[in-house]
Chain A
Amino acid sequence: MELIPLSPWDLALAATLVGLLAALSWLLHLGIGRRLLIAAARSGVQLTLLGLVLRVLFAQTSPPLLGLMALVMLAVAGYEVMARQQRRFRGLWGYGLGTISMFLSSFTITFLALTLVIQVHPWYRPQYLIPLLGMLLGNTMSGIAIALDNLTRTAWDQRGRIEARLVLGHSWQEAISEIRRDALRSGLIPIINAMTTAGIVSLPGMMTGQILAGSPPMEAAKYQLMILLLIAGGSGLGSLAAVWGGSRRLFDERERLRLDRVTPKRS
């Protein structure tokens, strides 16, 4: 089976659906039409650009260019993690914590997957590196954002309880232990849900793509399974690093709860 190319006309047809939805939103005063159209336009521009960039990258397999691309992806993901926090850490920590955690987990796991699991030669072959890294970053990003948001929000809400424990002589680790555990758990929920329903309720995006492109279904299934397992590992390790670093940052060297290191709630 060959992949059937899509013409601009085909895409325009799909776009009319969104246009219809926007018109409906305007008619029913849902107030979401504008945002819907902007988001659709953004995805159009971003994906077209990505297609162009990847065409260049795939054509020459240049490590510096690939490194640059990976850094841009990381930088945007880091910003996105920060933007999703209701209460973020002040200063460099706000951006750095999520970004470093993602770097540690996604980049390491992508590298290990390329060298040990798939065994691509050279390991940085862009056709494998970029999609794999993208999927790992995207999912780790959600996990870390949820976990960190949960950590700072709960610590803020439960200030009295945390300090009650500190006052009674508990160490900072004891005082934050339950909150830390819950934050970590919340970061892992999305991937656990994804793995639970994979193949029954949802046909995961990557597998769908491979099947459309003509891969044998069994191969597509195996790749999808590998990706899910890698994502689980990446989300878990990333959330672990972020929550550990974040909870450490909530206390100073005298084990005081320092909520002044977290910004106030954003409306």
Chain B
Amino acid sequence: MKLERLRPLLGEPLSFEVPPACTCFVRGPSGAGKSLLLRAVADLDPNEGEVWLDGLRRSGMPAHRWRRMVGYLPAESYWWEDRVGDHQAHWPLSLLERLGFGAEVLDWRVSRLSTGERQRLALARLLANRPAALLLDEPVANLDSVNADRVAAIVHAYQQEHGAPTLWVSHGEGRGNASCRGTLWLQAGRAAKLETAWS
């Protein structure tokens, strides 16, 4: 995944590349523009610049196809149907199981889910789309350590299996056992430092 002079809302242009299956952690104080960076890559806010993924240009395809490809997981998950299962036709049951859910979760009401359950189910909902990249906004923030490890392992396995480059916004130390990792520090909308193991 390559960002070419991508300029998020309220930010400065950024250019860098994340190779397949690698993770770039995005860190920085609150308000540094971490989430806005992910939103810009997913093309949710007006932004400038170009993003490439698997040799495909963002501007060369309809926005909804692009978003399905880049797999953005917002920090807070939203649900528009009453029942979990109604949100899409296909739910990979093995993935639900690895997240600690049985198939009956599809019959649950969204309103009775805890924040952590919502977050894990949002990951399942996202991965069911088979995105080619992952943009994760604090995916383990509301999880206990068991579930945080589960989620990190699932993300890692997905990256390996699909060669998905990943941007991972994180407040704490970067999680996961990614063998190929880098860190981007943001400060007031601009890249303060970029450390990567790949360049």
Contacts and interface: CB of A to CB of B under 8 A. Distances in A.
The judgment on whether A and B are partners is yes
B78 A164 contact: yes
A158 B80 CA distance: 9
A42 interface: no
A180 to B, nearest CB: 13
Chain A interface category by residue count: 20 to 34
B126 interface: yes
A10 interface: no
Interface in A141-198: 158, 160-161, 163-172, 178
B45 A256 contact: yes
A168 B129 contact: yes
A178 to B, nearest CB: 7
Interface in B24-82: 42-46, 62-65, 67-68, 72, 74, 76-80
Nearest to B88: A168
B64 A166 contact: yes
Contacts of B79: 161, 164
Contacts of B156: none
Contact of A163 (B44, B46, B64): B44
B63 A165 contact: no
Nearest to A167: B72
Interface of A: 158, 160-161, 163-172, 178, 252, 254-258
Given A165-B80, A169-B64, 16 more contacts: A158-B80, A163-B74, A163-B78, A164-B74, A166-B63, A166-B64, A167-B72, A168-B125, A168-B129, A169-B67, A171-B62, A172-B64, A178-B80, A255-B62, A256-B46, A257-B44
30 contacts: A160-B74, A160-B76, A160-B78, A161-B78, A163-B78, A164-B77, A164-B80, A165-B80, A166-B44, A166-B63, A166-B67, A167-B42, A167-B67, A167-B126, A168-B88, A168-B125, A168-B129, A169-B68, A169-B129, A170-B64, A171-B62, A178-B80, A252-B46, A254-B43, A254-B63, A255-B64, A256-B43, A256-B45, A257-B44, A258-B46
